[in-house]
Amino acid sequence: MNILSQNTAFGGMQGVFSHQSEATGTEMTFAVFVPPQAINEKRPVLWYLSGLTCTHANVMEKGEYRRMAAELGLIVVCPDTSPRGNDVADELTNWKMGKGAGMYLNATEKPWAEHYQMYSYITEELPALIAEQFRADMDRQGIFGHSMGGHGAMTIALKNPQRFKSCSAFAPIVNPLTADWTQDAFEKYLGPDRAKWREYDACALVEDGARFPEFLIDQGKADSFLETGLAPWKFEEAVKGTDIALTLRMHERYDHSYYFISTFMEDHLKWHAERLG
């Protein structure tokens, strides 16, 4: 693991690191905030997955999480959203596909399958590195994210309920099978058989029997992607009749930006801290 930067913030450490990933076959960059309590003891880990076009830096610079994470004693890990490099497949004129748009899945189709193995990277490789390099209590993990990252957080939690104790999302893509900004990418990454897409769709996973205790979703009513890309009411419908608890909060005037995310960031951190202990 290479140290790219380290800065003191609220008594803790905000770092940016890189390493050579076996899952993606590329160098991957990620950010970690370590709270001051980790000097003396292992602390819970909260994963934040970013949205389309983002890197680790977007939430690190605009998410405003450090003060509350330091107060609550949470380690916050912010991975990149896709593999990167000159040899990595991409569509330069399509921001919904390729670099910055890994969708947190394992691609099966050429040329994407060679490097786009973000599900394995997030669920297996990077956690092993975090456990090795930081004073992290891997028995207390939560996960959240924004937009594409909210999709990633929810699907990963539903598929790994034994690992995660909490999951929340800001404006998540809850139903990629029908969302206008994911169908093209899913077909290119996973092929035309939509049955294979269900493994990475929160609504479909619930319909197919996956379970997670509870979710918190915050969504802005002024979000320009609300109707065609996000539609959180579809997940609300999917969990009806199950034992999954859902808190869906719809907010007047808020859009899809980090102004929205930073406004409710402390709520999410406190919500996770209560469940992580």
Q: What residues are annotated to the active site?
A: 147, 223, 256
Q: 37 with 28: CB under 8 angstroms?
A: no
Burial of 265 (0-12, 13-18, 19+ CB in 10 A): buried
Q: 56 with 78: CB under 8 angstroms?
A: yes
Q: Which residues contact 52 (CB under 8 A, 6 or more apart)?
A: 81, 95, 96, 100, 101, 147, 148, 181
Q: Which residues contact 206 (CB under 8 A, 6 or more apart)?
A: 158, 235, 238, 239, 242, 244
Q: Which amino acid is at 142?
A: G
Burial of 20 (0-12, 13-18, 19+ CB in 10 A): exposed
